[in-house]
Structure 1
């Protein structure tokens, strides 16, 4: 008869441990800026917020002779902010961003709850009127743009999206049949639906076909993955290579992801669109300072001038307050009361 093994637990006194195995050397403490990045990523802040906060904290440390922030206090923080306002002559919003970065450093990273943090005066941001193009200026500006840059600019003016909202569009977010665009994770992390103008259907479809050819080439070369948020790539391993998750406006070349280190084809950089719009404005003879965001302002203003309900404009723009118009512009007259209902098909202000 086969004997069963003895499973009686043995006393730990008879077991010897190797000291080097039992007490492994402690890991070196993480650097301060790495701790800042860890806290930012723990709260799911954007990569832009991470870059800005780390940069301001580094400037703050260098400004005070590379002293550790533990030994600095209200006087040093106020000196740094005063240096930005007086000597660097930065804008109020820039000064407040630096203050927010330092508050995050002391409260969330160093876990120092000091009463003087709330007593630091924030710079007053002036309430300025946005620059709005007239319909003729907008038409002249768009005529100076072509290709992908022209399509992005036309999409900004025809839908009212922000620049990064347009560049972060995925293939699955465009509804050609319903003539709608789903804006995912817009400002404030909100989703919304905006219109897709009829006169942009064919150009956008042709552009998507060219992007599909580029994606197939990347897949054949062993690449073709795309960045996905919130560990979706781990939950759905096939999603990074799927066609629906690809960018609508991919970059011309692949790049290295700053967080994961993987090689992806990211979307177009916003600076390329900004330079193209600025150069097109000069060619069109427009004296106003032009940026892609001006097309969003013009979109809202022209819709109100065309008689659209202000609540509809707010919904398309993804704003809870009314868009501010420029009263000095001759084209910025208030909308008439009880405007007639319009269809989504003619939502583009300059569509025929």
Structure 2
């Protein structure tokens, strides 16, 4: 029985790669499926059903105190296992309830706070911070940005395969152009050095390397923000230069916020929230902001209109209306 989980996990891995899921999704799904099997004493998932799934999901909340989003990710992994791998379309799959993610207003910085945080970033992290705020990019969208998708002439950035597998166009801040062009000169030299050293071409998504076998060695496909050093590709095992680590940027932004003396919880995504809010403050139409952010539903963008309201939806406190004694 103990030999079944490894064979099953390898089958899951193959199915995930067939569907071109990201390496992060692959690692997360495999981790949750393995935990599910171990939680139930290494029983095979075919022997289990709704009760075992609910017991595991309840354990995550009651015993491990995971967030609702984490529990939902675990549920998605198990539903993928049963539906896509084991081919078990059972009626109870749709009955397993998802945890409700609490609705919270995003943390938004003032323009002065944004400027202070950006001033406390250096090097590559400073350029990425400028794009998170100046173009409204998500962190991974900035890290995965390719040279060909930065259009200096048109003053725009093309975000490929963003959230929901959608492409979109957003603004390229003019203030960042000179520094970004200088940065790309250094990246071009790094690209040439890697080619001379015989490193594998840059990673291409969704089997593009099979369709365009030479594209990985073309300048346009290189990452705008490459990693400091080459590393082993977790899927193929070849040595290539990946994009900059998103965790590196997260640490840098949090450190910059601390140096700025900002008490709010600040992350790279806070800069994107601030981008949206400041655009609305400056009078831009909410549909325009929706398009720049890549939201499929305008109701997602509407949350920033709530942030703009002061003092409980713009109500004047009766204390402030009192005449001085």
Same fold (TM over 0.5): yes
Please tell me whether Structure 1 or Structure 2 has the larger radius of gyration of its CA atoms: 1
Cα shift readout 1:282-302 (whole Å, capped 9, x = no counterpart): 000000111000100000000
Question: Is 1:79 aligned with 2:55?
Answer: yes
Cα gap change, 1:108/1:224 in structure 2, threshold over 3 Å: closer, same or farther?
Answer: closer
How far apart in 2 are the matches of 1:302 and 1:333? Answer: 17
2:323 corresponds to which residue? none
How many equivalent pairs are there?
307
How far apart in 2 are the matches of 1:197 and 1:160? Answer: 10
How far apart in 2 are the matches of 1:131 and 1:211? Answer: 33
1:290 corresponds to which residue? 266
1:274 corresponds to which residue? 250
How far residue 223 of structure 1 moved from its aligned partner, in angstroms, is 2.0
How far residue 115 of structure 1 moved from its aligned partner, in angstroms, is 2.1
2:285 corresponds to which residue? 309
1:42 corresponds to which residue? 18
Cα pair 2:132 2:268 within 8 Å, conserved? yes
Question: Is 1:97 aligned with 2:38?
Answer: no
1:238 corresponds to which residue? 214
Cα gap change, 1:305/1:29 in structure 2, threshold over 3 Å: closer, same or farther?
Answer: closer
Question: Is 1:251 aligned with 2:251?
Answer: no
Which of 179, 184, 190 pairs up with 2:166? 190
How far apart in 2 are the matches of 1:177 and 1:333? Answer: 42
Cα gap change, 1:306/1:89 in structure 2, threshold over 3 Å: closer, same or farther?
Answer: same
How far residue 70 of structure 1 moved from its aligned partner, in angstroms, is 1.6
TM-score by length of 2: 0.90
2:321 corresponds to which residue? none
How far apart in 2 are the matches of 1:140 and 1:172? Answer: 31
Which of 191, 207, 213 pairs up with 2:183? 207
After superposing the two structures, state which structure 1 stretch, 185-194 or 117-126, moved more: 117-126
Cα shift readout 1:126-167 (whole Å, capped 9, x = no counterpart): 111111011111111111111110110011100001111111
After superposing the two structures, state which structure 1 stretch, 41-50 or 147-156, moved more: 41-50
How far residue 332 of structure 1 moved from its aligned partner, in angstroms, is 11
How far apart in 1 are the matches of 2:84 and 2:138? Answer: 30
Which of 97, 102, 114 pairs up with 1:138? 114
For 1:261, what is the secondary structure of its paired residue? coil
Question: Is 1:118 aligned with 2:126?
Answer: no
Which of 241, 252, 267 pairs up with 1:265? 241
How far residue 323 of structure 1 moved from its aligned partner, in angstroms, is 4.0
After superposing the two structures, state which structure 1 stretch, 72-81 or 274-283, moved more: 72-81
1:149 corresponds to which residue? 125
For 1:83, what is the secondary structure of its paired residue? helix
How far apart in 1 are the matches of 2:5 and 2:78? Answer: 21
After superposing the two structures, state which structure 1 stretch, 224-233 or 294-303, moved more: 224-233
How far residue 266 of structure 1 moved from its aligned partner, in angstroms, is 0.2
How far residue 329 of structure 1 moved from its aligned partner, in angstroms, is 6.7
How far apart in 1 are the matches of 2:66 and 2:79? Answer: 19
Which of 60, 70, 73 pairs up with 2:46? 70
How far residue 233 of structure 1 moved from its aligned partner, in angstroms, is 2.0
How far residue 222 of structure 1 moved from its aligned partner, in angstroms, is 1.6
How far apart in 2 are the matches of 1:151 and 1:272? Answer: 13
Cα shift readout 1:9-43 (whole Å, capped 9, x = no counterpart): xxxxxxxxxxxxxxxxxxx9981001111121222
How far residue 203 of structure 1 moved from its aligned partner, in angstroms, is 0.6
For 1:207, what is the secondary structure of its paired residue? helix
Structure 2: runs of 5+ lacking an equivalent: 315-325
How far apart in 1 are the matches of 2:154 and 2:313? Answer: 32
